[in-house]
């Protein structure tokens, strides 16, 4: 496909399931409204309901960064000083990372945009987890406080801090939408999506992963394909794949049978 060609929609793959927290998880929010003696590091919450959630941007960013490392992609520096961030972004429309997650680097003064083929939506608590967390006797709704200490190696003086995190066992519903634009790319792109989720399972999401936070498991409940003819009204059929209860690793093994 040339850079000036219209980006087609051959169809959309919609992958849904659950993110199961295997250990307490903390994705940071703001400390607005926290009083003296309160939480040092609060979690992000829906401002309307107070319920914790996993931002799609956090999940997508983790997927991308782990894939960049796995594939040993060249990193460029964006921003400067304390705001500098190193990541991979190029203007190659065939780059497996950039065509999937998007890219907007500046090339010789001009900005080149490669729109992402993947949408990662915010993950919200399942109704079962919401009810379970509401019934817990904790200091804060839907979460727990975890006390930690920073220890001075010379004086042994302890500097306590309080982290807020969602307890192990909580489950969040997630949805990933992948737009198929070229048939020759579909299997590779889907494989990279499942590989990224598998990498997260062996890594962590959120903060403090080296201290045991953020271990998760993905359980795929459904994967469907809606073709371009479905959207134009030429057909009503939605292709559904047998993936219920499968892990990302298991779905990789089922490729190339998971194509519309």
pLDDT beyond 90 at 111: no
Query: What local confidence, expressed as pLDDT, does residue 162 receive?
Result: 77
More confident residue, 146 or 185: 185
**pLDDT: is 77 or 220 the higher one?**
220
Distance CA 37, CA 217 (A): 34
CA distances from 156 to 40, 50, 84, 150 (A): 21, 38, 35, 9
| Selected residue with higher pLDDT from 22 and 209 | 22
Can you tell me the mean pLDDT for 93-114? 83
Q: What is the model's pLDDT at position 34? A: 41
* pLDDT given for residue 36 in this prediction: 38
- Output the pLDDT for position 35: 40
- Name the DSSP class of 164: E
pLDDT at residue 48, rounded to an integer: 94
pLDDT at 38: 45
What confidence score (pLDDT) does residue 109 get?
61
Q: What angle do CA 196, 199, 203 make, to 5 degrees?
A: 135
Tokens (6 digits) for 28:
């940071």
Determine the pLDDT at residue 76: 83
End-to-end CA distance of the chain: give it in Å, rounded: 20
> What CA–CA distances, in Å, run from 104 to 7, 88, 123, 187, 213?
16, 11, 26, 24, 32
pLDDT of residue 197: 98
User: What pLDDT, on a 0 to 100 scale, did the predictor assign at position 56?
Assistant: 96
Cis status of the peptide bond prior to 57, with omega within 30 of 0? no
Q: What is the pLDDT of residue 28?
A: 78
Distance between CA atoms of 58 and 27, rounded to whole angstroms?
A: 8
CA atoms within 13 A on the CB side of 161: 10
CA distances from 125 to 57, 134, 187 (A): 17, 11, 30
Residue pair 201/62 in contact by the 8 Å Cβ criterion = no
Among 38-42, 63-67, 216-220, the least confident range: 38-42
What was the pLDDT predicted at 157? 72
């Amino acid at each position: 496909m040339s850079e000036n060609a219209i980006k087609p929609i051959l169809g959309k793959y919609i992958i849904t399931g659950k993110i199961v927290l295997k250990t307490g998880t903390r994705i940071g929010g703001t400390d607005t409204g926290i009083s003296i003696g309160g939480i040092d590091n609060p979690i992000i919450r829906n401002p309307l309901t107070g319920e914790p959630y996993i931002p799609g941007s956090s999940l997508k960013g983790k997927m991308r960064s782990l894939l960049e490392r796995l594939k040993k992609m060249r990193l460029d520096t964006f921003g400067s000083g304390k705001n500098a961030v190193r990541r991979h972004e190029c203007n190659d429309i065939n780059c497996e990372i950039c065509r999937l997650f998007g890219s907007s680097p500046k090339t010789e003064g001009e900005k080149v945009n490669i729109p992402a083929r993947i949408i990662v939506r915010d993950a919200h608590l399942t109704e079962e987890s919401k009810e379970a967390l509401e019934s817990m006797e904790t200091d804060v709704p839907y979460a727990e406080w975890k006390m930690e200490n920073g220890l001075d190696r010379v004086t042994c003086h302890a500097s306590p801090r309080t982290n807020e995190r969602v307890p192990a066992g909580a489950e969040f519903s997630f949805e990933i939408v992948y737009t198929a634009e070229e048939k020759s790319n579909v299997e590779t792109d889907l494989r990279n999506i499942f590989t990224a989720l598998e990498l997260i399972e062996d890594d962590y999401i959120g903060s403090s992963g080296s201290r045991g936070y953020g271990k998760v498991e993905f359980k795929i409940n459904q994967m469907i394909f809606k073709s371009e003819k479905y959207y134009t009204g030429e057909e009503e059929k939605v292709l559904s794949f047998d993936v219920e209860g499968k892990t990302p690793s298991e779905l990789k093994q089922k490729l190339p049978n998971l194509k519309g």
